[in-house]
Amino acid sequence: MNRCLCILSVLSAIAATLTGCRSMPSSTQNRQPGQLLYVSTAGSDAWTGTRAKPNRAKTDGPFATLIRARDEIRRLKAATGLPEGGVTVEILGGRHEITEPLVLTAADSGTETSPIVYRGQRAGKTQISGGRFVTGWQPVTDPTALERLPVEAREHVVQVDLKALGITEYGDYAVDVENAIQKRVARADGQGEYTMGSIAPRKGDTHPARLEVFCNGKPMQVARGPNDSHLTIEETLGEHQRVVRGSSSSVEGIFRYKGDYPKRWVGEKSAYVCGSWCRDWAEQRHRIETHDPDKRTIAVAKPYHYYGYKKGHWFYGFNILAELDRPGEWYIDRDAGVLYFWPPCPIGEARIEVSMAPSLVKMTDTSHITIRGLVLESARGSAINIDGAEQCRIIACTMRNLGMHGVTVADGKENGVIGCDMYGMGGGGIYLVGGDRKTLTPAGHYAENNH
């Protein structure tokens, strides 16, 4: 799949007309915390979390997990209330692997004078990773798999049994259209309504979280074909048509393609197509439901594309073993749980990682929480999802190798993303949406100095 390196998605710019822009209140900067808690890869959740290093007796020291630190803050709030200056959780350097996001709710909120801060001890040295390194790679020996692989790839592709490693959920590539933004909006001139549609998330990540592969810190390409071009819809075959602004398209995703390139896809277990089916700026991925190479027809699985399907538009196939034909490409046999990969370097020099966690931090109805100075990486969805929050901030973080966005902010008020670096993103950098369009009430979300 093509990955995006954009700082703001298209709708972020639209949302900015409602969200406005403001700077972080000075009263929250350089505040000394009333309580410090520590999290370390050498810690234990049985300890108090009040020491940065274990004591000599190994009876006390930092916590091992962010969840334990969150729960300790909840305990403090219930017992004595938050101290003046709030609570800071200092996360010591190293790689902290998680399989589920740190979930923060209203119960985990701070206040203006007692904020909650989760920060890396050393900027750029504290990694929160939703991935897992994979070892045990072997040459491909299965005759059926070798037959499907292109001849030039057979001596280079290696495989690993994910099921044997306990990795059994691989996610899906199809878009969850039902939960995306698709709503009727009043026209500015008062003449009725129009439909605003998008596959961008309204509430967190609506896209299914799917496994991705990274090698030596870089995202790899799921096997696709054609590699550097596209195929074309020759004719749509759906029974129903829709007309939008004078342009007709087929409602059903059934079509005849030009040429015979997709014949090589016959027999593939879980092949997908990605296309700009009706409008050049609106892609969608589908699983191939049926494929007749003699008639050159493909029917895709529902949900169908919101705008329909149109003659002359383009698509390509992916997650197809027969298309694994160059270094850096990979394919998963979902039934067998086997990952095939052509590493871009000698296998002994390759650190191969797969994404596991759906996201890394999820905030819902929170307030006065700051995430600062962390490297957030290798999640299947977005690094941080913020829904219905107020005055929560993401500051000086690096976000990389993510299936969706770095940060999504939906609804709430005055949430900000400041001084963050983002790359290797599957969906975009920052997504902000909020405010009330009918009353022109701004949300006050802001993004400053992000790259």
Report whether 120 contacts 375 (CB < 8 A). yes
Give the residue from 329, 353, 377 where a domain finishes: 353
Domain presence at residue 387: yes
Domain presence at residue 183: no
Specify the pLDDT at position 123: 78
Specify the pLDDT at position 68: 99
Domain presence at residue 227: yes
User: Is the same domain home to 389 and 311?
Assistant: no
Report whether 94 contacts 351 (CB < 8 A). no
Specify the pLDDT at position 197: 39
User: Is the same domain home to 161 and 302?
Assistant: yes
Burial 346-358 (b: 16+ CB within 10 A, else e): eeeebebbbbbbb
Its domain, for residue 383, covers 10-130+357-448
Specify the pLDDT at position 245: 75
8 closest CA partner among 437, 417, 436: 417
Report whether 287 contacts 270 (CB < 8 A). yes
User: Is the same domain home to 296 and 443?
Assistant: no
Domain presence at residue 208: no
User: Is the same domain home to 146 and 256?
Assistant: yes
Specify the pLDDT at position 32: 84
User: Is the same domain home to 148 and 242?
Assistant: yes
Name the DSSP class of 147: H
Domain presence at residue 126: yes
Specify the pLDDT at position 321: 98
Domain presence at residue 192: no
The count of domains in the chain is: 2
User: Is the same domain home to 387 and 270?
Assistant: no
Domain presence at residue 198: no
Specify the pLDDT at position 173: 83
Give the residue from 338, 353, 368 where a domain finishes: 353
**Tokens representing 19?**
């969200």
Give the residue from 310, 326, 353 where a domain finishes: 353
Specify the pLDDT at position 207: 54
74 closest CA partner among 32, 103, 113, 43: 103
Specify the pLDDT at position 394: 99
Specify the pLDDT at position 29: 53
Domain presence at residue 412: yes
User: Is the same domain home to 105 and 85?
Assistant: yes
State how far the Cα of 383 lies from the Cα of 261, in Å rounded to an integer.
37
User: Is the same domain home to 321 and 407?
Assistant: no
How deeply is 281 buried, as exposed, middle or buried, from its count of CB atoms within 10 A (0-12, 13-18, 19+)? exposed
User: Is the same domain home to 166 and 291?
Assistant: yes
How deeply is 311 buried, as exposed, middle or buried, from its count of CB atoms within 10 A (0-12, 13-18, 19+)? middle
Mean pLDDT by 10 residues, the chain (451 residues): 42 42 48 92 98 96 98 97 97 97 98 97 92 97 96 98 96 61 40 41 58 97 97 96 84 97 94 95 93 98 92 97 98 96 97 97 98 97 97 98 95 97 94 92 97 96
User: Is the same domain home to 169 and 302?
Assistant: yes
User: Is the same domain home to 388 and 414?
Assistant: yes
Residue 371 sits in a domain whose CATH number is 2.160.20.10
Report CA Rg, the chain.
24
Cβ-based neighbours of 261, under 8 Å, separated by 6 or more: 225, 226, 231
Beta sheet of 428-433, edge-to-edge order: 102-104, 361-364, 384-387, 405-410, 428-433
State how far the Cα of 115 lies from the Cα of 100, in Å rounded to an integer.
24
User: 3-state DSSP call for residue 143?
Assistant: helix
Specify the pLDDT at position 204: 53
Strands 338-341 and 131-133: unpaired
User: Is the same domain home to 266 and 399?
Assistant: no
